[in-house]
Structure 1
Amino acid sequence: MARFYKKRSANKGLPPGSLVFIGTKKVDTPTVEYVSYDQENFTESEFLRVENVPKNDPEKRQWYNITGLDNEEFMAHIQERLNIHPLAMEDVMNTGQRAKFEEFEDFAFTTLKMLQFDSKASRVITEQVSFVIKGTTLITFQEEPGDTFDAVRKRLRNPKSNIRKLGPDYLAYALMDSIVDNYVYLIEGMGEKVDDLELKILEDPDEDALQQINMYKRELHFILKVVRPVRELTHNLIRTESEFIDKKKTLAFYKDLDDLITHVIESAEAYRQVLTDYLQVYHTNVSAKMNDIMKVLTIFSAIFIPLSFFAGVYGTNFDYFPELHFKYSYFIFWGVIVTMAGGMLYYFKRKGWF
């Protein structure tokens, strides 16, 4: 499936809020990870059946993490069980959704993408993650299981951590911070490889170097397409007056997240400009090599043109050619040819043409 734009033909003609999965199936069986926590208590469970999942309890801090979005029947049951607006669920199931923050009557909704570099395919792959902040409850949706949130889970199990003290908006921040940190690691890793290209381009600009330049430019362009809307998302989170975001306790953290996103975007744009410069250097070096080759060929042509003229003259079939009957004509001919060629080479060398 295309990365830059995912076709929505599956939900063509359907009313808004229809639960239609748009994307690639990544898990066989969807699961619900349930965590209930406060400063003193912590419990976690995993469920395969929606009817076994505990309902929202306004007296508890809860985190529901749903993994696997392609099962439309399962997602319909989740929507009903956790009382999520159909338009938000439609965005959850559309994995080509642009990053955004949106306020509903009884919850705040956010969606963005994780990024990871697939070294085998030499391309950046994405996973959409959505957040529903609802009272004392956080609901997250992932396309597939992964280790990006493991550090947050570890902190959540620690009774002394801030996550245990603060509400679901801070937990949402911690999870988004893990995603954005992954952006930074991705850019840093690609940046090191881009820096390594410089020597190769200057010393031996081959076809492989050109392919790498174009590959990294394409992937950085894709990263910027994904990350730029996240800055708009963080700006909206900072400006929001939503009751589901405790600005007194979490505003500073969301501002820090916004600064990190700005750093990611600026770094990606800088490396893309570096690659553009590398491309110009590559073409300049290739042109210089071609000019050197053409110079050598031109020198040989300049030497052999007069020699060919002499050979052509004495190769004609006239009956009377006085020089041909001279005893040393052959040696004189070669002497003239060698002297002429040597003289031209000496002249070109003095001029610094090779």
Structure 2
Amino acid sequence: MIRSMLTTPDGLVHEGDENLIEQWQATPESHIWIDMQGEPEPRERELLERLKCHPMAIQDAQKERHPPKIEEFEHHTLIIYRGISSFDAQLNFVPQQVCFFIGAHFLITLHPGNALSIDRFFNEQGSTLLKESPERVALRIMYTSAGFYIDSLLEFESELSDLEDELLENGNDVLMRKLTTYRSRLVKLRRIFSYHKGITQELTAYDYTHLPRDENETLYAINDVAERFERLYTLTQMYYDICGDLVNGYISISSHQLNITMRVLTVITAIFVPLTFIAGIYGMNFEYMPELGFQYGYFFVWGAMVGIGGSLIWLFKRKNWF
């Protein structure tokens, strides 16, 4: 699907398909936004080459999984952004690569599937921002997409809080597996946000031709996006640390309980070792054993065994071993 939006210097807004390109080329100082969703690669390449996009930029944009980055070319700046197709409170997310070709008077967005942030601005505020400059649209799309990430992460905070309470009350292996799964997903999210954080740091530090920082509104938009990705990275790191603390806490509690059990078993073993030793001696079948002829030998051995056992129990209780 190819859809286009054209804003002219006299304030008119036109929506259509790639046929608006000719009208845009015939109208100086007009701005055009071309959105391509799920188009075949040859069709994408044809349209991008028509707008003088650099071949290396086209090649990077058409790679199925390219790390997010920003790169400047003669006629445009390329931003490869990792958006989302879906994201829920359990951190189940489906990433989607979104490419921005930002020129002086044009914006091209390239993505394989439905993009919520692009749909929102194409239907609502896109024309207003496009009248100002194409880079404002691109920055606002990234800002909105980051907002979807934040909303789902904040929902995950409630899920994590409930999981923490449940783990403290009745920890089990099922909850541990869930925590481990969350940690794995948070690592993936942190990697994505680390890339995005790097992009916004470059935008803040360097003056790109097609994203000029000398324009106050563009600079404010860049700072807003940078703050959101900084927050996303911080939230992801914080939740990852919390999950790690919960895992370590559960392991510590389990180890402590195991130590208590082993200590009780050790005490029982220590009590019965001397008793087993005595029973073993008098269980030997030698013909001449002096104690066997003693009239009260049986009761004497029983008394010794009870005394030894009672003394050991008293000693272990005094040391608070059980």
TM-score, reference length from structure 2: 0.82
Q: Is the 8 A contact 1:109 1:130 kept in 2?
A: yes
Tell me, in whole angstroms, the C-alpha distance in 1 between the residues paired with 2:211 and 2:301.
100
**2:79 counterpart of 1:110:** yes
Gaps of 5+ in 2: none
**2:237 counterpart of 1:275:** no
Q: Is the 8 A contact 1:113 1:226 kept in 2?
A: yes
Q: Is the 8 A contact 1:210 1:279 kept in 2?
A: yes
Of 113, 128, 133, 1:144 maps to: 113
Relative to total residues, which structure has the larger helix share, 1 or 2?
Answer: 2
Q: Is the 8 A contact 1:55 1:81 kept in 2?
A: no
Tell me, in whole angstroms, the C-alpha distance in 1 between the residues paired with 2:255 and 2:198.
43
SS state at 2:192 partner: helix
Gaps of 5+ in 1: 1-30
Identity %, equivalent residues: 25
SS state at 1:55 partner: helix
Of 101, 104, 108, 1:135 maps to: 104
SS state at 1:148 partner: helix
Question: Structure 1's 203 and 324: CA in aligned 2 closer, same or farther, altered over 3 A?
Answer: farther
Q: CA deviation at 1:93?
A: 0.8
Q: Is the 8 A contact 2:102 2:210 kept in 1?
A: no
**2:131 counterpart of 1:185:** no
Q: Show CA shifts across 1:138-190 (max 9, x none).
A: 11011211433343234237x8xx42652222111211111221232343344
Aligned match of 1:155: 124
Tell me, in whole angstroms, the C-alpha distance in 2 between the residues paired with 1:77 and 1:325.
111
Aligned match of 1:292: 260
Q: Is the 8 A contact 1:117 1:186 kept in 2?
A: no
Amino acid at match of 1:301: T
Amino acid at match of 2:38: G
Q: CA deviation at 1:272?
A: 2.8
Q: CA deviation at 1:113?
A: 0.4
Aligned match of 2:312: 344
Q: Is the 8 A contact 2:101 2:107 kept in 1?
A: yes
Question: Structure 1's 281 and 192: CA in aligned 2 closer, same or farther, altered over 3 A?
Answer: same
Tell me, in whole angstroms, the C-alpha distance in 1 between the residues paired with 2:160 and 2:275.
51
Q: Is the 8 A contact 1:202 1:285 kept in 2?
A: no
Most deviating of 228-237 and 319-328: 319-328
Q: CA deviation at 1:62?
A: 2.3
Aligned match of 2:33: 63
Question: Structure 1's 185 and 95: CA in aligned 2 closer, same or farther, altered over 3 A?
Answer: farther
Aligned match of 1:97: 66
Tell me, in whole angstroms, the C-alpha distance in 2 between the residues paired with 1:122 and 1:263.
17
Tell me, in whole angstroms, the C-alpha distance in 1 between the residues paired with 2:45 and 2:85.
29
Aligned match of 1:80: 49
Q: Show CA shifts across 1:232-284 (max 9, x none).
A: 32233343251564723321111121122222222222333333433433332
Q: Is the 8 A contact 2:91 2:152 kept in 1?
A: no
Paired residues, what number? Answer: 315
SS state at 2:98 partner: strand
Aligned match of 2:224: 256
Question: Structure 1's 268 and 93: CA in aligned 2 closer, same or farther, altered over 3 A?
Answer: same
Aligned match of 1:16: none
Of 209, 213, 230, 1:242 maps to: 209
Question: Structure 1's 74 and 120: CA in aligned 2 closer, same or farther, altered over 3 A?
Answer: farther
Q: What is the RMSD computed on CA atoms of the aligned residues?
A: 3.2
Q: Is the 8 A contact 2:2 2:34 kept in 1?
A: yes
Q: Is the 8 A contact 1:107 1:244 kept in 2?
A: no
Tell me, in whole angstroms, the C-alpha distance in 2 between the residues paired with 1:117 and 1:327.
88
